[in-house]
């Protein structure tokens, strides 16, 4: 379980560039807005993480308890799909492909209903409001979240799914907090040290390794 948690953590950390692009603007607003308080950014990110965890628990519980006889058979296809999406996300972070954006569009049918409600909580005026806003904005279409949730629910148990998504949520926190406080410095470092290649390739390699057929092939070679 610890290895699964750290795997989720690494995916969250490696996806920093995408997190900055998707939610960095709102994080900056919460950190540096005229009347904002540091605690609002904390509660926003707790709410965002809560939405990811809730989403994963609902799906994994439905599969594990409602479709038990099919769950084992579905794990390999789910891991394969999740691995492919992770590879596409890594390619996007490297700037090599934008195909992942087409996959993210699949979540827009839900987001079109959630977005008006999410916008109604802006501008944020309290910690409670920040938490609810984080929960709602957590449904923003995101290929990195989609692939991680798919990978999490394909692990065979609700407990392992929870460990994986919790690691991912914690892994996304540093980029979100730093985006608010040091947004310009992060952008400069991101370009200067070519971090998009480091993080992008990390996700590509992990995505490839998480595909069962690739993992089995490497095991047989080893």
How do residues 12-52 score in pLDDT, each as one tens digit? 888 776 776 666 666 666 655 556 677 888 898 899 999 99
Mean pLDDT of 90-112: 81
Q: Cα dihedral angle (94, 96, 99, 104), rounded to 10 degrees?
A: 20
Is residue 67 classed exposed, middle or buried when 0-12, 13-18 and 19+ CB atoms within 10 A define those classes?
Answer: exposed
- In this prediction, residue 16 carries a pLDDT of 73
- In this prediction, residue 56 carries a pLDDT of 93
Report d(CA 57, CA 51) in Å as an integer: 10
Average pLDDT, the chain: 81
Residues 168-188 have pLDDT tens digits of: 999 988 877 776 666 556 666
Report d(CA 55, CA 141) in Å as an integer: 13
Integer CA distances (angstroms), 113 to 48, 119, 149, in order: 17, 11, 21
Mean pLDDT of 145-172: 88
Give the residue, 117 or 194, on which the prediction is more confident. Answer: 117
Residues 191-213 have pLDDT tens digits of: 666 777 888 898 899 889 888 88
- In this prediction, residue 162 carries a pLDDT of 93
Answer yes or no: are the C-beta atoms of 161 and 82 closer than 8 Å: no
Residue 121: which pLDDT band, with cuts at 50, 70 and 90? Answer: confident
- Give residue 37's region: left, alpha or beta (phi > 0; psi -120 to 50): beta
3 state DSSP class of 80: helix
For 36, the enclosing helix (H) or strand (E) is none
- Give residue 149's region: left, alpha or beta (phi > 0; psi -120 to 50): alpha
Mean pLDDT of 98-125: 80
- In this prediction, residue 188 carries a pLDDT of 66
């Amino acid at each position: 379980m610890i290895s699964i948690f750290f795997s989720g953590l690494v995916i969250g950390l490696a996806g920093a560039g995408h997190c900055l692009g998707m939610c960095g603007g709102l994080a900056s607003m919460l950190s540096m807005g005229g009347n904002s308080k540091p605690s609002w950014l904390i509660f926003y990110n707790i709410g965002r993480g809560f939405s990811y965890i809730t989403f994963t628990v609902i799906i994994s519980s439905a599969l594990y308890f409602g479709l038990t006889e099919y769950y084992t058979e579905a794990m390999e296809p789910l891991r394969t799909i999740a691995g492919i999406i992770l590879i596409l996300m890594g390619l996007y972070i490297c700037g090599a492909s934008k195909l992942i954006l087409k996959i993210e569009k699949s979540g827009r049918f839900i987001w079109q209903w959630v977005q008006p409600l999410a916008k109604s909580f802006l501008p944020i005026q309290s910690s409670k409001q920040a938490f609810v806003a984080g929960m709602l904005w957590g449904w923003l279409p995101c290929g990195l979240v989609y692939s991680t949730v798919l990978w999490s629910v394909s692990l065979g148990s609700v407990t392992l799914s929870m460990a994986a998504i919790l690691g991912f949520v914690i892994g996304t926190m540093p980029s979100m907090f730093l985006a608010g406080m040091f947004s310009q410095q992060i952008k400069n470092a991101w370009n200067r040290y070519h971090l998009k290649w480091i993080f992008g390739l990390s996700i590509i390699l992990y995505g490839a390794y998480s595909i069962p057929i690739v993992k089995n092939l490497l095991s047989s070679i080893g």
